[in-house]
Amino acid sequence: MKNNCSYDKYILPKNHFESEVFYDKSGMNYIKNINQVKNKNIIDAGGYIGDSAIVFSDYTDKNIYSFEPFLQNYNLMLKTIELNKKNNIIPVNMALGN
């Protein structure tokens, strides 16, 4: 799979590593009581290709519900989940709104 790219322990199906996702852990580094997240579900609104979801999965024993309305990105998210062997990410091909 020549198009796969990796950084640290993470693998993406395309080269799109953003520092705020992987270096800053999608902001998870800034949560004071991060241990309280461990037993909570996480909602990833705007899941894109699943990059944040694979980072979030390191912080919880529960599920990450990752919403991505665009089919091309959603399909890449499925690949990201597979490449990283994550079984607690629930991909949802829908948008969130009120």
pTM: 0.85
Q: Characterize 66-80 residue by residue with b for buried, 16 or more Cβ atoms within 10 angstroms of its Cβ, and e for exposed.
A: bbbeeeebbebbbbb
Residues 80-89 pLDDT 10s: 999 999 999 9
Total H helices, total E strands in the chain: 3, 5
Domain boundaries along the sequence of the chain: 5-92
What CATH number should be reported for the domain whose range is 5-92? Answer: 3.40.50.150
Which amino acid is present at 79?
Answer: K
pLDDT in tens, 26-51: 777 777 787 888 999 999 999 999 99
Q: Are 27 and 60 in contact (CB under 8 A)?
A: no
Give the whole-angstrom CA distance, residue 42 versus residue 27.
13
